[in-house]
Amino acid sequence: MSARFAHQVVWITGASSGIGAALARAFSREGALLILSARRADRLEALREELGRPDEVLVLPLDVADPRAIDEAAQQALAWRGQLDVLVNNAGVSQRSLVEETSMDTLRQVMEVNFFGAVQLTGCVLPSMIAAGRGHVVNISSVAGYVSTPLRSAYAASKHALRAYSDSLRAEVSGRGLWVTVICPGYIRTEISKAALRGDGTPKGEHDQAILSGLDPELAARRMVDGIRHRRRELSVGGRETWAIAIQRFFPGIVALLLPRTSPE
C-alpha cells in the first residue's frame, strides 16, 4: 500500500455518501487517519467498519447547518490526535427549483450547508493549522461555482461564494505553510440530485439523468486525492461538462446564449 498521507489526520464532511465516502476510501488507502462527519451516523459507522482500520477512524456525526454543533465537533476533532492536517469541506446539498418558486428558508438552508458550514468549520481549525505552520483546507465547490445554470440559483450562489472565500483565504495563508485547494466537480454519480431541495425545501427524491451517467465517484475521488497531494490550487473533475468553466471564462456571451436553451432537470 502506498501511504502518501500516513500519520496525517484528514477530516471529511459529507462522508456518509457519494464523493465524501469515496474520498474516505481513497485517503484510507493512502494511510490517512480519518475523521468522518455527516448527519447519518449509521452510514458513517458502516464506512468505518468497511475501511477495516477502526482505531484509525473517528466517526463524528455533525450537521454543518448547526453552528453550535460545528464548534463542539471542531474541538473533538482537534483533540482526537492533537493535530489536523487536511480539512475537506465536502458536505453539500443541491437545489432544483426556479427562482420564483424558491423560499427564503430553502435558499438559506443551501447557503448554511454549502457556504456558512464550510466557512465556520474552516475558521474553527485555522488557528491550530496556523500555529502548527502546516495544514490544507480543501473546499468542494462545483462547475456551478463558475456557471450558474437554471434551477440552481441558490446552489450556484453558494458554490461561487465558497470559491471566492477560498481564494481570499489562500492569498492570506500562502507562505505560512498552509494550502487551499478548490475542487470543482462536474457530473459525479452520487445522491446529490436525489437529495436536492425543491423550492419548498423537500427533497427532489429522484436522480437526474446527467448525474446517473456521471463519473464514478471512486475514480473522481482518486483524482481529487492526487490533486490534493500535489497541492493544486484548483482542479475540476468530471467529463466534458467541466469544459464549461473555460468557456464561461473566455466566452461568457456564448454561455449566456446557450443556457436558456438547456433543459436542466
Q: Which chain residues interact with ligand NAP by CB under 6 A? A: 13-20, 38-40, 62-65, 90-94, 113, 140, 142, 185, 187-188, 190-192, 195, 211, 214
The residue (of 38 and 78) whose beta carbon lies closer to ligand NAP is 38
- C-alpha cell, 254: 456564448
| Angstrom distance (rounded) from CA 50 to CA 222 | 18
Q: Where are the alpha helices (DSSP H) in the chain?
A: 18-29, 41-51, 67-81, 104-111, 117-132, 153-173, 209-212, 217-229, 243-250, 252-258
Answer whether 189's CB lies under 8 Å from 217's CB: yes
What is the nearest approach in angstroms of ligand NAP to the Cβ of residue 29? Answer: 18
Of 59, 56, 64, the C-alpha closest to 21 is 59
Question: Considering the complex, what minimum distance in angstroms separates the CB of residue 91 from ligand NAP?
Answer: 3
- CB of 26 within 8 A of CB of 221? yes
Catalytic residue among 146, 155, 165, 187: 155
Nearest-approach distance from CB 175 to ligand NAP, in angstroms: 28
Please say which residue, 126 or 183, places its beta carbon nearer to ligand NAP. Answer: 183
Rounded distance between C-alpha atoms, residue 80 and residue 69, angstroms: 16
Measured from the CB atom, the residue of 19 and 78 that comes closer to ligand NAP is: 19
Measured from the CB atom, the residue of 191 and 226 that comes closer to ligand NAP is 191
Of 116, 135, 117, the closest CA to residue 125 belongs to: 135
In the complex, minimum distance from the CB of residue 104 to ligand NAP, in angstroms, rounded to a whole number: 18
Minimum separation from the CB atom of position 92 to ligand NAP (A): 2
Asked about 155 being catalytic, the answer comes back as yes
Distance between CA 131 and CA 204 in Å, rounded?
Answer: 43
How many CA atoms lie within 13 Å of 123's alpha carbon, on the beta-carbon side?
11
Q: How far is 117 from 125, CA to CA, in rounded Å?
A: 13
Catalytic residues: 155
